[in-house]
Structure 1
């Protein structure tokens, strides 16, 4: 056997998926170059069409939805792909090399195929959602509150979301694999639907009518065709008066993992004198299914792209070759991207709803990381190729760029 203390890979955003996508997209670009094909056209020729779906990959993954050609065309338009040569010439006029990189990705989401939620309504005007996922900075409290606010017709401020409390949350699989909106959100909707069914029976008793005559909308139960109504909270209070509670739970058991997908286009320039890379523009078109909160999803994609840029250009774990001691054990030595390393992100969405869940969601949190390294490194390779230099491996540090340019006699 082999014993090592230099870990080849550890859990990080998009673990394993971005490395696989990086290899695939770099190979596609290299194939296009060697075959004399355009990088866009070689992808266009091989993309799945709507009539191809559902499509099972050779590895066994099932792709059930996606508008891949539309994503590509939207990204090309947003990036001004037709003006690339003009921008390349402008960069050359300023003494810089110019590169543009295109990468597409398809990422499996969901991981553990079951999730739990319980929704309780109290007569004092509060709703509590107890969910099996965990919010550690992703904005899940807002997401769940939005979902239940719309479903139950109440204000978001009236909803409390409980995570990670084993006294209150009976079970759950946690947050990983970009699963929380699809898995946890659907479990919350299922629980809320059961709450409405239970409450409708009580509302019929209160309003002295048949259950079939009760309609529910905007937090009120109403006798159809009349103005006789009772609120959700009044129904909860009535149930509590008999010693019971208005609460229901549900487990969402999903089928195969779903596939989020998208397109990244990175534009950059390089200073030949020292190998410094300047990211000039970055466009993303993402299909994450139905979006609950656009601001949160934008933030997730900003963070995901940033982490992918870090892996492509900056981040590297170094070890002492004599004893294996980690030399990059703190942020003094391990380089992360900062705000001034980044361009403005041009992010848009193509919301193709996934039909396996009540939200219509696919994964979002890790997807941008899967596309970024390939797009950035394809752009680096494009710039170096036009200068007659050989490509470099990740991370494309300024030193690596400088050395390969010197070997090509540039700078």
Structure 2
């Protein structure tokens, strides 16, 4: 049988370390000078869920009591309270009213309440809702009640176009045409407060679709402190992952093998962050997921190589540890390359046939996969080669020979 060809990977360890050092230092400089393009997940900003709907009912109140209108999934409730008022709650189940006109009649039966039908639609087919940014307390200004109606035909591109004057806007359509809503995420600068940004967003949507068409289902503002906590939490998550991997590798191998695997993982993470900074790709939770995915992939590739090195130490006849390392790397090269290439097929399909965050996710994975294959061979290999440069193979002990049964030779006189 022909012997396997041994590739002298060790000849390229120094060049690989220098190349990686240059790339990582350049990435650190880029992060300092250009920064990281943090996405809305890691920036202060506004998160709203909106609906483009039809106004079907206007409800007002002209009395002295405090009256609130609560629109629920199963009924409409009128809550009357206040000093001198007859405190009560009027519940109108949808099952008892067939359409908006019937509901208006029941509401108008409450003293001081006026319900005006804007558009009569059957309630069995249309859910009612009100805007969350408008007080539910009734007054002389009518409270608008909406239904989805035919407004579900509005697309996410139309909503995005309405908000084109704002920076860092992300719009996603949620649900079907019959119950479509839009999740709007918008970054805020240091000078812009939540109320001001919310008001400006609502005005822009009003101008595009009309005040009687826009419903804010819910609205939240993420402050700078919360966004900073997300960043610090992500860093802690990555560091905790590295510590757990080091503990696992130390238990399975020696400390230098474990440290080599962690160094290879840190190398891959830094290369990915450097690329993200160079390209100014948006750093979102999806990008963080890509980094964690590569950490798992890289440790798997490195452990396979380290396991082969440990095995070859016992069976390969060699003059130095570097020879054993070259033998192990040569034996696992095919596996490392084939695994990386086959994984890249799926990742590149995502890269070429998707858009948005999934496209960025695939691009990050592509860089990480290539870096992971490279680091498991050259970076981890270079570190182990350095720490075991004075490694000596244990020589087999000489077995004692029993000579008691051998006859003694006595010279004859």
TM range (shorter): under 0.3
TM-score normalised by structure 2 residue count: 0.24
TM-score normalised by structure 1 residue count: 0.24
Greater Rg by CA: 2
- Greater helix proportion: 2
